[in-house]
A and B are shown apart, each in its own frame.
Chain A
Amino acid sequence: MLGKTAGGLYWMFRYLERSENNARLLEAGFRIALTRSAAAEDEWMSVIQTAGVQTGFLERHDTADSSTVTDYLLRDKTNPSSVISVIEASRNNARLVRTALTREVWEATNECWLTLKDALARPVRDRELPEVLGLIRQQSALVRAALHGTMLRNDIYDFARIGTFLERADNTARILDVKYYVLLPSVMHVGSSLDNVQWETILRSVSAQRAYRWLHGGDINSRGIAEFLISDRRLPRSLVFCYTKIVDNLAYLAEDYGVREECHVKADEVLGRLRGHTIETIFEQGLHEFLEEFIRDNNALAGQIEQDYRFYG
């Protein structure tokens, strides 16, 4: 496979994952704003922070409210992380690697782009938001389904999956980091009665509120949530889950190509560190420091994979 093709597959699925994450962030923010109008502006700003686009947002808008945030995260082309930007980037990468995709995957990606381009052609009003967000989730799910249902399990698939999980791990870590920062006062009072709605946004941002309830009943607390999102190997958006997948997919590549590269060592190290921690040691070290280090490691691994598999010249 061409190095460029491996890179294209990896980015195609990183961007696709990002579009879904953005939609979910917005959904969580929207919900909070609906239920707690007093804190709405703070909540909208925290959505922008979590998406990591604060600087760009403040250049375009003075206030964070449902219409400015929605517009910036969904359809502003000056925002490289907006849904329309990442869907376009995902589809451009798909065009680049067209020969590596089945007709089903390509058509689902193209359809996803056509549908969302259309849905996001005009500003999205509050009452249309749930429908549009649903559409974004549905369209990216169709692409993923086509991938799972029709693609050979070979290096093509591996690069697609590695892109997906690197992006997802980065996203989960950032949500946890920003949200904890916002909620810091309540973290200091572990054991005191927590603001349930706020905590639920974290879970909602990663589509894990029901999963958490199944596993932990009604007991929502900060440590429980952090542990769930970092270490639970059953949760498909936890850091441990993402890294288990990354390590697996890299291992398939090593087996396929008959060579272990530097990135294999790095990925194993990150997973080892994640597993070596308990929630207690994480909180001792400081959650923020822990997550910061993780995001750095994750970026470094991404760079190493690019280099080892010759994505660029």
Chain B
Amino acid sequence: MDKAESIFDEMLLGDDNARSPYGEYHDWFVAEDPTRLHHKSREAETFFRRTGITFNVYGQEEAAERLIPFDIVPRIISGREWARLSRGIEQRVRAINAFLYDIYHRQEILRAGRVPAELIAQNDAFLPKMIGVAPPANIYTHIVGTDIVRTGEDQFYVLEDNARTPSGVSYMLENRESMLQMFPELFSRIRVQPVSDYPKNLRRSLAACAPPACSGKPVIAVLTPGIHNSAYFEHAFLADQMGAELVEGHDLRVIDGRIAMRTTRGYTPIDVIYRRIDDDFLDPLNFNPQSLLGVPGIMDVYRSGGITIANAPGTGIADDKAIYSYMPDIVEFYTGESAILKNVPTWRCSDEDSLAYVLEHLHELVVKEVHGSGGYGMLVGPAASKREIAAFRDKLKAKPGNYIAQPTLSLSTVPILTKKGLAPRHVDLRPFVLVSPLGINITPGGLTRVALKKGSLVVNSSQGGGTKDTWVLEE
């Protein structure tokens, strides 16, 4: 496949024409003075820096806080495209919750032979402690950030399901906020669906999942690993926007079968914890005994209905990259419908034939660690040097079960503003989904991540990616 020809740009058709969702915006853009736009672009950076919207990069000096570069050209999705996308996401998220309930109860899908049993039993993300536990309203994934990529007009693929603790929603909100401040005129011209209800909906949705022990108005807290965590800004932001407490493990302890937080007036019980720490660190008594981030005994309180943990422990089994390849089956098994959104074809390197194929085609594949995230530890074949490929080959051979491989998709591009004007760059999309007894709520838009380097396919902020505001148009 010739890449240069097949790349789909979401905004531009040729040099001067814009595709229909971008029509109004493009008219506005060409009439604008470029100097003013560049000035606005710098203004945005100042805004982010002042507000402290930064993230810490792992492996760098502890104090290093970086800005995620923000591009002022929005990514625009039509109402029609969005309707289809959100139907597909909703279907997938329903299936994931049904799958999780099943996996931790009767395991019908394993009995039916649709997913191999050893894939579950030998998976680190599977938590035996969750077997037989029914979380409030049987909801496991209260918050999901489904990663979606596009390759053509109607070609959308789910890249990852992110059912553990997806991050980035604060950027979705702050990106919109800064666009509203910088270009108010655009929003009076173009009808863009708002995203600002997210914190309110998150609060409502968490409150609706209060545990049996809760009496009265549910007390909600965001559990953060602390100010040195890469996403600390977001944790503080969400707690602030929801009017919830921002707690660390050492603020909490088990008292009378409840989780209580240390306040200036003594210990007060909390009902719902939105935790932004991994399962492994959640409870040193039940999981990693070295963890200082969690709360000793929280799993016992959880099992007895004293607290709701969002997302539930053990959800990682659903967004594991090895399970991913079974998602079309999983969707069909639980919903009785075929999946609306496609999966990217995936080779499981644990399988001998697949491994042989992958080893032979490393230069054209993307190889990922089954449990990896943030773009760390992956190989992008077409962009890698011979030496990198050789080194990766050894890693892969040593532990094939640890990897999956996918074809290099020709991701769609959306232009960014560069010194020389508009230039196409690859993007992905992470919409944010809330699940509660009230229903499934998908914020129209999400976080568009963009690879700022020309030709690069890696959009992760930890790898030099940037973000864009994402507009879903009113129908």
Contact = CB atoms under 8 A, between A and B. Distances in A.
B264 A98 contact: no
B49 A99 contact: no
A95 B262 contact: no
A313 interface: yes
B434 interface: no
B263 interface: yes
B249 to A, nearest CB: 10
B24 interface: no
B218 to A, nearest CB: 17
A2 B252 CA distance: 10
A312 to B, nearest CB: 8
A165 B261 CA distance: 28
Contact of B261 (A2, A103, A114): A2
Nearest to B232: A95
B168 to A, nearest CB: 18
A214 interface: no
Given A110-B50, A114-B49, A2 B239 contact: no
A2 B263 contact: yes
A6 B240 contact: no
A95 B227 CA distance: 7
Contacts, number: 58
Interface string A68-108: 00000000000000000000100010011011000100110
A3 B247 CA distance: 10
Nearest to B249: A313
Interface string B231-272: 010001101100001111011000000000111111000000
B52 A95 contact: yes
B227 A99 contact: no
Interface string A1-14: 11110100000000
Given A2-B245, A3-B264, A95-B236, A106 B52 contact: yes
A92 B227 contact: yes
A259 B266 CA distance: 12
Contacts of A99: 236, 239-240, 245-246
Interface in A94-130: 95-96, 98-99, 103, 106-107, 110-111, 114
A3 B262 contact: yes
Interface core residue of A4, A6, A110, A310 (most chain B CB under 10 Å): A4
B51 A4 contact: no
B240 A257 contact: no
Interface core residue of B49, B52, B63 (most chain A CB under 10 Å): B52
B342 to A, nearest CB: 40
Given A92-B227, A95-B236, A6 B52 contact: no
A1 B264 contact: yes
A65 interface: no
Contacts of B266: 310
Given A98-B236, A99-B239, A107-B50, A4 B251 contact: yes
A2 B300 CA distance: 24
A309 interface: yes
Contact of B251 (A2, A110, A111, A257): A2
B240 A98 contact: yes
A200 interface: no
A155 interface: yes
A313 B262 contact: yes
Contacts of A106: 52
A111 B236 contact: no
Nearest to A113: B52
B51 A110 contact: yes
Contacts of B49: 114
Nearest to A258: B265
Contact of B248 (A4, A92, A155): A4
A66 to B, nearest CB: 29
Contacts of B262: 2-4, 310, 313
A145 B263 CA distance: 27
Contacts of A107: 50-52
B51 to A, nearest CB: 6
A115 B247 CA distance: 29
Ranked 6 nearest A-B pairs via Cβ: A98-B236, A309-B264, A99-B240, A110-B52, A3-B262, A6-B264
Interface of B: 49-52, 63, 227, 232, 236-237, 239-240, 245-248, 250-251, 261-266
21 contacts: A2-B247, A3-B251, A3-B262, A4-B250, A6-B264, A88-B63, A95-B232, A96-B227, A98-B237, A98-B240, A99-B239, A99-B246, A107-B50, A110-B50, A110-B51, A111-B50, A114-B50, A155-B264, A310-B264, A310-B266, A313-B251
Interface of A: 1-4, 6, 88, 92, 95-96, 98-99, 103, 106-107, 110-111, 114, 155, 257, 259, 309-310, 313
